[in-house]
Structure 1
Amino acid sequence: MTLNLAFIALLDGLSYASLIFLVAVGLTLIFGVLGVLNVAHGSLYALGAYTAATFGGQLVAAGWSPWLTYPALVAAALCVGLVVGGLMERLLLRRIYDKDPVLQLLVTFAVFMMLENVQRMIWGVQPYYMASPLQLLGNVSVFGINYTAYQTIVLPVLALAALLGLRFFLRRTDAGAQIMAVTEDREAATAIGIDATRVYFVTFVVGAILAALGGALATPTTSVVPGMGANMIVLSFAVAASAGLGQIEGAALSALIIGMARSFAVYLAPEFEVLMPYLIMVVILLFRPYGLFGTVQARKI
């Protein structure tokens, strides 16, 4: 493997890790606060991608400036997160918070299956693609290697901004303090006047927006096709489990490790590309069953 090829693999891995992190950190946030492993999280990712492709395609077709496709990506994520995520939490999930975890898993899996069929009903099975955001920024030269500015700069910067923004929100704001209090002890937090129902709603919507944002940002770099949500939820779970469920900072490192491993496998051993995330997860969990940053917690009775 030449040095140039290794550097291209490094850039590929960084771009891929940024997208995985945005989706996985939403899954991690929801599980850490609500205690629900949301299988339908992958569908929110796919809906974000389809909605972004639709918004952007309509803007370009109507003759509007291609630069408006950037706010279209964010608008698509907000629409999916607020509408679909908000309805899921309000109408369904809040009814099963105190139920058996197996029931929660089955319910969110049922939602995933329904949303997958909704995608096919609305958009069909033809692939969608919106290249405008990628083409507008062109390429940048990094140590003599040309690579798209969108993947080299935009995606990593947004992933870093999401990480730092979540850290600031949870640790430096009143709303974040309320979320942390409910996470630690819902009954005690409710006793001192915190509205746990509202905290759960806000947390789920934020996690849903992050999942949809990951899908929207992926639209310029890949074809939007049926089944992409299923692939992403498995990848996101591999990242979250490797880091330790509920560990936001750990999800960033885990996403980077898995993204880099998958990228280098593409160039060195393509037959292992699909297996790499899961091999890494298995190895980590064999030596650290609670993940890289997870800790053993006493069970409440």
Structure 2
Amino acid sequence: MANKIPNRQAICDTLLKAAATDKDIVVLCSDSRGSASLTKFADTYPEQFVEMGIAEQDLVSVAAGLASCGKKAFAASPACFLTTRSYEQAKIDCAYSNTNVTLIGISGGVSYGALGMSHHSAQDIAAMSAIPNMRVYLPSDRFQTAKLVEALLRDTKPAYLRVGRNPVEDVYTEDACPFEMDKATVLAEGSDVAIIACGEMVRPALAAAALLNAQGISAGVLDMYCVKPLDREAVLKAARGAKVVLTVEEHAPFGGLGSMVAQVVGEECPRKVKNLSLPDAPVITGTSKEVFAYYGLDAAGIAKSAAQLLANC
């Protein structure tokens, strides 16, 4: 049975459970409680919810102010606006001041589909990763999302968490979701191709590995939910054990997961690295699945790119 619970709902469910006993948790949003699946939290704990309206800069600054008073602030807004309109506030009020704020970028990547480039966030990994003290996370499914939010509730550092709009196929199960903060998860071992993916690209990467294995190509898959800090040891282990490395991300080709992996591999154990991503151009109009298929970011496209990369190594 296909999963019908989006990662944004997993965030709300986890915060709801924790807020029952932790009154320091406060959730803020910018007229997006419905889009963020936070309506139930707002209705259940109105004294722990702040509606800022369409004012992303204020959203982030107020969250930082609450955090400086000892609150555990979670500020949600569409990723496309949160990481551009409030970039200075994220940089100064959250990261520079090292406040306990988790910025939640909802409907990340091309989730908004037909709304086009104004609502796509293909730059957010690069932008947020460039800020000192700011961590960047892209969980791959609802179970990992819940584990990540639980971990963020236990620490006191600023973070950016990006999730998509729609439900994604499960990568893990409720009983089998290995998680260690800032450590990638090895989903498959492979000696020919190491596929390193993040966010919604992890599930198709895993399916691509199965297609490659059926062709006699040994493909490993690494779930790099922690884009910053990047798990260098996991990257190097995967790269050293394979002939080529393929990174897969729902992001522009510059400054994201691919750039970071290529830098690490180039410094430590040179291998041919290919970055499979969205183009450096406005993407086509369509649903996420249609966009992924068009740009080769589905299972078939990832497998094809991996096979070509291996053939040309």
Same fold flag (TM > 0.5):
no
Q: TM-score, normalised by structure 2?
A: 0.28
Give the number of the structure with larger relative contact order, counting CA–CA contacts within 8 Å between residues 6 or more apart: 1
More helix per residue: 1 or 2?
1
